[in-house]
């Protein structure tokens, strides 16, 4: 009977391993609730006191027997007391713990101890937030949810684009009605161009005008010419396009003032001008100059015109999406002023900490650290801001170039005419001859 029982036990163990592997691959949430969460919750409960002591989260409490002036009686040790925590609550592919702070503690101490919690609990990441005074919420994710993000979905809305998936599993949406202007930073092959392609494919079916400024000869945005109302491929053309947009912005102001409204969205449908989304690829090409007088003048003009569009365009249906590999104050003082007007921020992997700091530093210091941790293998992964002022890791849906071009061609019939820009480019060509 002994060998038979052993063989039966081995067969059952093998069957459980096979079934467990199938559940883990095809139903990861089930696998997490059945096996991952109990083990992780056990580690949280039984390692909390030691982690708190080693990372200065515990507070020393005086023993009962003390003399005047808090002098300790010899032989009575000072007792460190770890903060009280709730029992770990299971979430989708993770868990959360509420910590009650000691008097005088701040969430910053827990943010510094986040890496220690990751290793002690053997999870992918720990996020520290403070939902209310005196409490800290520790949210742990078991695995990286952006390794194989599912296709998220979001309701269709004008000037709203479904970009990808958030680390929470929700949809990553760029809503230009809520956040009118965006700054996108990312090194070469970080996913920045793929994100722009995804944005164009999402906006192409909508009744909006897309204007491209690609001073790299139009290599990136030139693929979508059939859906673009205008495309500037050099800085001289960019000045002409931006000047025409500023003139159009003034006409929109006059229309709103005449109608007694404060934005074009309050105008009747028949009087409302078409929304315009200006896509700028490689912002540095607009600001850098070769030292000549003409080059400096063009750079200053671009800086001034972009800043005016960013300051006044939101209520007038003029939106900016500015992308670049390197974003820093060394490009000129106008870059910092423009950055302040671009409320939406997306930071992919970057080559220098200054760009991450420029993109996210004025909003959240923790987001800068997370952005700098993005590796070269995580193409498409970025740290993005949300309309609530917070931030999250996200990954854009992969949009192949041929698919994006086909989508732009399919909806080429919806390309609005912008006569002012067309006249400006025609006049520029005439001056060139």
Same domain, 237 and 370: yes
d(CA 132, CA 151): 33
- Residue finishing a domain among 143, 174, 195: 143
| 94 part of a folded domain | yes
| 384 part of a folded domain | yes
How many helices and strands (H and E) does the chain possess? 14, 17
pLDDT tens-digit map of 179-207:
999 999 999 889 898 899 999 999 999 99
Same domain, 113 and 243: no
Same domain, 393 and 419: yes
pLDDT tens-digit map of 236-293:
999 999 999 999 999 999 999 999 999 999 999 888 999 999 999 989 888 887 778 8
- The beta-strand segments (E) located in 101-218 are 125-129, 135-141, 160-166, 171-175, 182-185, 209-214
Same domain, 405 and 308: yes
Same domain, 50 and 189: no
Token pair of 291 as six digits? 């030292």
CATH assignment of the domain containing 167: 3.40.50.300
Non-local (6+) Cβ contacts of 417 within 8 A are 229
Same domain, 126 and 230: no
Q: What is the reported pLDDT for 19?
A: 45
Q: Along the chain (433 residues), what's the average pLDDT of each consecutive run of 10 residues? A: 59 50 58 82 92 86 53 56 91 89 87 89 86 89 71 72 84 91 92 91 94 91 93 92 94 93 92 94 86 86 93 94 87 85 92 88 80 87 83 87 91 91 83 57
In the block, residue with structure tokens 């903060």: 83
Same domain, 331 and 286: yes
Same domain, 138 and 165: no
d(CA 74, CA 84): 29
Same domain, 114 and 261: no
In the block, residue with structure tokens 């790299």: 216
CATH assignment of the domain containing 53: 3.30.980
Same domain, 275 and 420: yes
The mean pLDDT of the chain is 84
| 129 part of a folded domain | yes
Non-local (6+) Cβ contacts of 410 within 8 A are 204
In the block, residue with structure tokens 């520790």: 138
- Residue finishing a domain among 143, 170, 202: 143
Q: What is the reported pLDDT for 126?
A: 87
Strands 182-185, 135-141: parallel, antiparallel or unpaired by DSSP? unpaired
Number of domains in the chain: 2
| 29 part of a folded domain | no
Same domain, 124 and 177: no
d(CA 203, CA 175): 11
| 50 part of a folded domain | yes
| 39 part of a folded domain | no
What is the CB neighbour count within 10 angstroms for residue 330? 12
| 155 part of a folded domain | no
pLDDT tens-digit map of 352-381:
888 889 888 877 777 888 888 888 888 889
d(CA 252, CA 246): 10
Q: Do the beta carbons of residue 227 and residue 210 sit within 8 Å?
A: yes
Same domain, 83 and 181: no
In this prediction the pTM is 0.78
Q: Domain of 268?
A: 160-432
- Residue finishing a domain among 111, 143, 175: 143
Q: What is the reported pLDDT for 16?
A: 45
Token pair of 224 as six digits? 């979508």
d(CA 199, CA 292): 36
| 152 part of a folded domain | no
């Amino acid at each position: 009977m002994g060998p038979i029982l052993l063989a039966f036990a081995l067969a059952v163990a093998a069957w459980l391993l096979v079934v467990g592997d199938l559940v883990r691959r095809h139903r990861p949430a089930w696998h997490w609730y059945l096996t991952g969460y109990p083990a992780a919750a056990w580690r949280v409960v039984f390692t909390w006191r030691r982690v708190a002591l080693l990372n200065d989260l515990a507070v020393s409490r005086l023993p009962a027997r003390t003399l005047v002036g808090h002098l300790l009686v010899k032989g009575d040790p000072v007792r460190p007391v770890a903060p009280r925590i709730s029992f770990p609550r299971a979430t989708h592919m993770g868990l959360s713990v509420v910590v009650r702070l000691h008097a005088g503690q701040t969430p910053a101490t827990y943010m510094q101890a986040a890496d220690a919690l990751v290793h002690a609990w053997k999870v992918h990441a720990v996020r520290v937030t403070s939902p209310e005074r005196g409490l800290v919420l520790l949210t742990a994710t078991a695995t990286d949810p952006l390794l194989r993000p599912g296709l998220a979905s979001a309701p269709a809305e004008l000037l709203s684009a479904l970009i990808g998936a958030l680390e929470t599993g929700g949809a990553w949406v760029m809503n230009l009605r809520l956040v009118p202007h965006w700054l996108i930073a990312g090194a070469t092959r970080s996913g920045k161009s793929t994100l722009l392609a995804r944005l164009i494919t999402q906006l192409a079916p909508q009744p909006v005008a897309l204007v491209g400024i690609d001073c790299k000869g139009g290599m990136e945005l030139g693929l979508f010419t059939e859906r673009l109302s205008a495309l500037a491929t050099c800085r001289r053309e960019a000045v002409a396009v931006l000047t025409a947009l500023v003139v159009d912005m003034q006409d929109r102001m006059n229309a709103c003032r005449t109608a007694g409204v404060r934005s074009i969205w309050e105008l009747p449908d028949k009087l409302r001008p078409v929304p315009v989304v200006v896509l700028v690829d490689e912002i540095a090409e607009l600001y850098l100059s070769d030292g000549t007088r003409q080059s400096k003048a063009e750079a200053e003009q671009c800086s001034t015109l972009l800043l005016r569009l960013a300051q006044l365009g939101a209520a007038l249906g003029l939106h900016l999406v500015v992308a670049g590999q390197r974003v820093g104050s060394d490009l000129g003082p106008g870059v910092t002023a423009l950055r302040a007007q671009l409320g939406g921020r997306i930071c992919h992997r970057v080559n220098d900490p200054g760009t991450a700091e420029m993109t996210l530093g004025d909003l959240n210091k923790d987001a800068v650290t997370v952005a700098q941790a993005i590796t070269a293998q995580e193409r498409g992964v970025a740290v993005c801001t949300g309309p609530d002022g917070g931030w999250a890791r996200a990954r854009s849906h992969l949009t192949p170039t041929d698919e994006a071009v086909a989508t732009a061609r399919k909806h080429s019939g919806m390309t609005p005419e912008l006569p002012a820009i067309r006249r400006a480019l025609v006049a520029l060509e005439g001056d060139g001859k």
